[in-house]
């Protein structure tokens, strides 16, 4: 099923030759300046695209966003910053707006300048009024090493509004108050302050709960634009739709982790607070030993116990009251026999593996998502630039 952008948005997706012949230049514009919010990487090596977009979205308004894929334009100095601003200025000039109304994101190899001769040719061919309506095309245009495009949609209950999102990312993923590259669009009407607050809550419990390899990207960018074309919607209903779209995209990202064969979901509940639950869950999903055990369908619950135990800052965690489950099967403290181990191994051969830890330190919970660690991940990243 083809997913279209919400009312008030149009797209232009093309190839300008950044690296190969696949689409690498994506522009989504609104009919008029609209409410906007953004969250970005906390990396001290944040790229020019992040710095420019932080600056431009600060007033809570934007007309569009441009994404260049296959080149991150990170650690490229003053020249890289000038190039990012030139891209923004070129887009703004063509569609007839101020430079600060355009946001930019980049993704790909770090440390290489944009091939500006090719980028300038692409800007020269940019239509003044993009006509594309396919969110699927936008999702494909921002891909790098992704094996599949990632798109999701949801209707806002009680209104005619929709939320549509796209994302890319399969490696260098451990979001820190941001995410890979994610673009979310809605035709609901909402104020900029409400949108920013809502977006922060949603990102905290979706994209910030994803990890493929514990590495925070230099280019992480999450942007949401609201055209208002469908009129006002109940804020709670809008946040639910935004959450559902972001959660779907987050899981798609985790499932498509570089070399991944399995989605890992870790739920930690009965924790002292949300932070404790999330920290422990991330320790489990990020453990190379847990990830390789899941890959090998080995129900080695001792590795989960190890991951919980290394969260030594939480002195209220008592191994005598912790419960560990794979799927619905308790593996600790209950002693399991050979038949149970065989059944668990069969369960872990599936495409989805759930690990559940009950801390018994309180009443809060958190769920995070990741993937198994395979030889494919090593191979992709060993050969990435060569």
18 and 107 Cβ atoms separated by less than 8 Å: no
Angle subtended at Cα 245 by Cα 269 and Cα 29, rounded to the nearest 5 degrees: 145
The C-alpha atoms of residue 231 and residue 200 are separated, in whole angstroms, by 22
C-alpha closest to that of 95 among 129, 118, 141, 139 = 129
240 and 53 Cβ atoms separated by less than 8 Å: no
For residue 335, give both structure tokens. 């002693």
Q: Which of 26, 107, 145, 179 is catalytic?
A: 179
CA distances from 375 to 51, 133, 306, 320, 381 (A): 35, 39, 23, 36, 10
Q: Strand ranges (DSSP E) for the chain? A: 9-14, 25-40, 61-71, 102-109, 150-155, 162-168, 181-186, 221-226, 263-271, 323-326, 329-332, 352-358, 364-371
Q: Is 179 a catalytic residue?
A: yes
The C-alpha atoms of residue 45 and residue 68 are separated, in whole angstroms, by 18
The C-alpha atoms of residue 9 and residue 229 are separated, in whole angstroms, by 10
165, β-bridge pairs: 152, 184
Counts of helices then strands in the chain (DSSP H, E) = 11, 13
Q: Is the peptide bond before 251 cis (omega within 30 degrees of 0)?
A: no
CA distances from 261 to 14, 113, 350, 356, 374 (A): 30, 33, 9, 20, 8
What DSSP line would sit under 36-98, residue for residue? EEEEE---TT--HHHHHHHHHHTTSEEEEEEEEEEE---S-HHHHHHHHHHHHHHHHHHHTS-
C-alpha closest to that of 195 among 28, 38, 5, 30 = 38
Catalytic residues: 179
């Amino acid at each position: 099923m083809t997913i279209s952008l919400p009312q008030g948005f149009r797209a232009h997706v093309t190839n300008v030759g950044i690296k190969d012949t696949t689409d690498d230049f994506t522009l989504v514009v609104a009919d008029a300046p609209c409410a906007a919010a953004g969250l970005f990487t906390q990396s001290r090596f944040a790229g020019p695209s992040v710095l420019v977009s932080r600056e431009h979205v600060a007033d809570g308004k934007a007309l569009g966003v441009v994404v260049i894929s296959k080149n991150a334009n990170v650690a490229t100095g003053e020249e890289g910053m000038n190039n990012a601003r030139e891209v923004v200025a070129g887009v703004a000039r063509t569609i007839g707006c101020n430079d600060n109304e355009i946001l930019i994101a980049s993704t790909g190899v770090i440390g290489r300048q944009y091939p500006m001769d090719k980028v300038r040719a692409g800007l020269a061919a940019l239509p003044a009024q993009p006509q594309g309506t396919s969110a699927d095309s936008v999702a494909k245009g921002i891909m790098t090493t992704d094996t599949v495009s990632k798109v999701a949609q949801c209707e806002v209950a009680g209104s005619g509004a929709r939320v549509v999102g796209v994302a890319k990312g399969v490696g260098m993923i451990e979001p820190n108050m941001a995410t890979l590259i994610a673009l979310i669009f809605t035709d609901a009407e909402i104020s900029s302050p409400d949108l920013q607050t809502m977006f922060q809550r949603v990102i905290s419990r979706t994209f910030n709960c994803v990890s493929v390899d514990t590495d925070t990207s230099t280019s992480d960018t999450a942007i949401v634009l609201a055209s208002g074309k469908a009129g006002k919607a109940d804020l709670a209903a809008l946040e639910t739709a935004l959450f559902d779209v972001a959660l779907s995209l987050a899981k798609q990202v985790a499932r498509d982790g570089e070399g991944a064969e399995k989605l890992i979901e870790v739920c930690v509940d009965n924790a002292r607070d949300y932070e404790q639950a999330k920290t422990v869950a991330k320790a489990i999903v990020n453990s190379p030993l847990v990830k390789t055990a899941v890959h090998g369908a080995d129900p080695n619950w001792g590795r989960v116990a190890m991951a919980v135990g290394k969260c030594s800052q939480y002195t209220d965690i008592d191994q005598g009251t912790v419960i560990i489950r794979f799927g619905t099967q308790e593996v600790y403290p209950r002693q399991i026999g050979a038949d149970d181990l065989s059944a668990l191994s069969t369960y872990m051969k599936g495409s989805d593996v759930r690990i559940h830890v009950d801390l018994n330190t309180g009443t809060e919970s958190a769920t995070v998502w990741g993937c198994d660690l395979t030889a494919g991940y090593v191979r992709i990243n060993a050969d990435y630039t060569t």
